[in-house]
Amino acid sequence: MAEQIGRELVYREYLMREEMLYHAPYNPEMEFYNAVKTGDEKAVEKTLKVDFCRKKGFGELSENRVQSFKYHFAITAAMLARYCTSGGMEHEQAYMISDYYILEADKVATLKEISALHRRMVRDYTRRMKAIRENPVYSPHIVKCIHYIYDHLHEKIYLDDVADEIGLDPSYLSRLFRQEMGMPVSEYIMRKKIETAANMLEYAEYTPTEIANILAFSSQSYFVSVFKRFTGTTPGRYRNR
């Protein structure tokens, strides 16, 4: 039990690596994120009338003002990814967009450039979320299934547990998932564990042994075997490359 709690805490910490607490008022910020999540372009444009680097309530995260707003930009990008994922955007896509804009923010040198990039990022997420709502890619049950999997990658995930969580018969869920996703639930789970492991190797300092434990693989050797099957290389070589 203690080991599982430890894995969950580490996994949660990894998922929320860029998420820090805002000092700004809660409701306006949450309304902003919900507007993006629902693809409400009109509401989003109202929030963008206030320049990102002129908003009140941001804490000082660095003595350098530009660097401080770069940190806040990264926080916003991570929060948008989380909200859009909960709204139906594929987890991998949401964080790919987040990582892209954070890297772009690292290149700019002025507050004006940060604000312009912030508007671009927010509109990008909003437009994508509007498209998802108007043309949903997956059924609501599969979206819930995907969210459950992402939230429990630190555990051994069983089809019966997923089905029970979303209120479907396991056999029906299995058929529906294969129909919409093009693969069995078990393969999808393993793919997402390996994608997460690859990100942890690339962006964090965890060892392969720690990652195998965090993602609930039965042993390090099994983790290495599965990792190699999906990526064509071992965790150690992947990190070096």
Q: Are residues 45 and 110 in the same domain?
A: yes
What pLDDT, on the 0 to 100 scale, is given for residue 13?
Answer: 53
Round the average pLDDT of the chain to a whole number and report it.
Answer: 85
Alpha-carbon separation of residue 160 from 8, 164, 171, 205 (angstroms): 20, 6, 9, 34
Q: Is residue 87 part of a domain?
A: yes
Last residue of a domain, one of 107, 134, 161: 134
The verdict on 126 and 149 lying in the same domain is no
Is there a single domain that holds both residue 152 and residue 230? yes
Domain boundary among 82, 107, 134: 134
Residue 121 sits in the same domain as residue 195: no
Q: Are residues 122 and 64 in the same domain?
A: yes
* pLDDT tens, residue by residue, 183-226: 999 999 999 899 888 878 876 788 999 999 999 999 999 999 99
Please give the angle made by the CA atoms of 53, 54 and 56, to the nearest 5 degrees: 110
Q: Is residue 68 part of a domain?
A: yes
pLDDT at 132: 81
Write out pLDDT tens, residues 74-111: 999 999 998 898 788 888 889 899 999 999 999 999 99
What is the extent of the structural domain holding 80?
18-134
Q: Kindly state the percentage of the chain with pLDDT values over 70.
A: 87
| d(C-alpha 10, C-alpha 32), whole Å | 29
Domain CATH code at residue 149? 1.10.10.60
For the full predicted model, state whether its pTM sits above 0.75. no
**1 assigned to some structural domain:** no
Q: How confident is the model at residue 167 (pLDDT cuts 50, 70, 90)?
A: very high
- Of residues 80, 77, 95, 102, the one with CA closest to residue 196: 95
Q: Which of 134, 152, 171 is the last residue of a domain?
A: 134
Q: Is residue 10 domain-resident?
A: no
Which of the 8 DSSP states describes residue 63? S
DSSP output for 207-230: -HHHHHHHTT-S-HHHHHHHHHHH
Question: Is residue 108 in a domain?
Answer: yes
The closest alpha carbon to 145, from 109, 188, 114, belongs to 188
d(CA 56, CA 77): 18
Q: How many domains is the chain built from?
A: 2
- Residue 9 predicted with pLDDT over 60: no
Q: Do residues 120 and 35 share a domain?
A: yes
Tokens of 190: 């393993």
Do residue 206 and residue 181 come from a single domain?
yes
CA–CA gap between residue 179 and residue 170 (Å, rounded): 14
Q: Smallest Cα–Cα separation from 75: which of 49, 55, 46, 90?
A: 55
Burial class, 119, CB count within 10 angstroms (exposed 0-12 / middle 13-18 / buried 19+): middle
